[in-house]
Structure 1
Amino acid sequence: MNVNLRGVFACLKYQLRSIVDGGSIVNVASAAGTYGGPMISPYIAAKHGVVGLSKAAAYEYADRSIRVNAVCPGWTDTVLAQEFIESLNGLITPNTVPQLFKHFAKPEDVAGIIVFLLSDDSKFATKGVFAIDGGYVA
């Protein structure tokens, strides 16, 4: 909770203080922030919190032309994810995760949407929750 929710809250607090005349903030939640499931309830609660915090901030700071969105990546091929998957002794693979694409996302797949949301090309997008999960929560 301290990293996954409180950390985002602290960053958001200082970002909002520093933006003077409009801007964009993108918070990273997780696909777990859009569903419920067993065994990881603190993580799921924290990521739901990031989604809710993003929506509330978007509403509260719209009068200052600050856009706030959340991205919700699914399984992403990172060192941390690989270490976690290895610790589960083969219980999770791209073929066992119920997603439409039979591979995990690459970090650049997530980064592309973040870059778009931070750009002027998305100047009317706020309070959004964007799944980047290969259809995992579909």
Structure 2
Amino acid sequence: MSQRFDNKVVLITGAASGMARATALRMGREGAKVFCADINAAGAEETAAAIRAAGGQAQAAAGDIGEPAQCRALVDQAVARFGGLDVLCNIAGRGGLRAFTEETVESWNAAFAVNVNGPFHLSQAALPHLLARRGNIVNVASTAGLQGQAYMPAYTASKHALVGLTKSMAVEFGRKGLRVNAVCPGGTATPFLQTFAVPEGAEMDLIGHMQLLPDMARPEDIANMICFAASDEARFVNGALLSVDGGTVAA
């Protein structure tokens, strides 16, 4: 396997499971020093331990990215542990299916806290370190950030906001050597998908159009794109929205 991340320092949120864990493991195999962050401390440590067992370097830390102070602390810990920062992968997310009329202030605010505010605060804290190394940010949005999707108003709105943040930062900092891209997965077989329970009385055809192919992506499929976007192979890719959805948004 190529060593695209040899001696690169990478901070990954949501690293306890799913596509973030798959990304952490792959980057670790490719030489990265991986800082695994998640609100699930035990899960983050399991991922870091797996990287170390395979001969890589990794450190785990617990943190709630919905809290600005904890975002800054995670960046500070990663830099203190590994001496700098080259890549920030904002992968942690919060979602679920809910009829618009059943959306609550609490669930709306929680979605934005994790899906938008977290990446914003992490990116702001990481910015000087990333600029110093001409690094990059990979945000994980969703097909819900590219098109309207029924029964997920907070998730869709927050992922559209993350897409907007990606584009804004890409334009503002591109000339300074910082790339910012968004990977937009469709349905992916991860524990996260278990939060997407179909609301009672939902029109199933409105949900069915979200998935073009009969099967779902694997976490590794999304990790492959994240790793490409974060690597020097994508040196001329900036402000891109990279769909990994089997063609769903093309239909």
Q: Say yes or no: TM over 0.5.
A: yes
SS, match of residue 214 in structure 2: coil
Gapped regions of structure 1 (runs ≥ 5): none
In 2, are the aligned partners of 1:35 and 1:137 still within 8 Å (CA)?
yes
Give the Cα separation in 1 of the matches to 2:114 and 2:247.
26
Deviation for aligned residue 1:62: 1.3
The one of 195, 215, 238 equivalent to 1:84 is 195
Aligned to 1:42: 154
Corresponding pairs, count: 132
Deviation for aligned residue 1:98: 5.0
Per-residue displacement from partner, 1:3-51 (whole Å, max 9, x unpaired)? 1111111121122122113112100111100011332111111100111
Per-residue displacement from partner, 1:72-112 (whole Å, max 9, x unpaired)? 1011100121x235x439x88xxx45544321111100000
In 1, are the aligned partners of 2:149 and 2:210 still within 8 Å (CA)?
no
The one of 105, 122, 125 equivalent to 1:11 is 122
SS, match of residue 249 in structure 2: coil
In 2, are the aligned partners of 1:21 and 1:64 still within 8 Å (CA)?
no
Aligned AA (1:126): N
Q: Using a 3 Å threshold, how does the CA distance of structure 1 residues 36 and 100 change in structure 2: closer, same or farther?
A: closer
Gapped regions of structure 2 (runs ≥ 5): 1-111
Computing the radius of gyration from Cα coordinates, the structure with the larger value is 2
The one of 94, 113, 131 equivalent to 2:225 is 113
Give the Cα separation in 2 of the matches to 1:123 and 1:5.
25
Give the Cα separation in 1 of the matches to 2:137 and 2:222.
15
In 2, are the aligned partners of 1:28 and 1:72 still within 8 Å (CA)?
yes
Q: Using a 3 Å threshold, how does the CA distance of structure 1 residues 119 and 71 change in structure 2: closer, same or farther?
A: same
Once the two structures are superposed, the pairs formed by residues 1-138 of structure 1 within 5 Å of their partners are: 1-19=112-130, 20-81=132-193, 83-85=194-196, 87-88=197-198, 96=208, 98-138=210-250
The CA RMSD over aligned residues, in Å, is 1.9
Comparing 34-43 with 68-77, greater Cα deviation is found at 34-43
Q: Using a 3 Å threshold, how does the CA distance of structure 1 residues 80 and 30 change in structure 2: closer, same or farther?
A: same
Q: Using a 3 Å threshold, how does the CA distance of structure 1 residues 98 and 27 change in structure 2: closer, same or farther?
A: closer
SS, match of residue 60 in structure 1: helix
Give the Cα separation in 1 of the matches to 2:182 and 2:160.
10
Determine what percentage of the aligned residue pairs are the same residue. Answer: 39
When normalised by structure 2's length, the TM-score is 0.49
When normalised by structure 1's length, the TM-score is 0.86
The one of the two structures with greater contact order (alpha-carbon pairs below 8 A, sep at least 6) is 1
Aligned AA (1:66): L
Deviation for aligned residue 1:68: 0.5
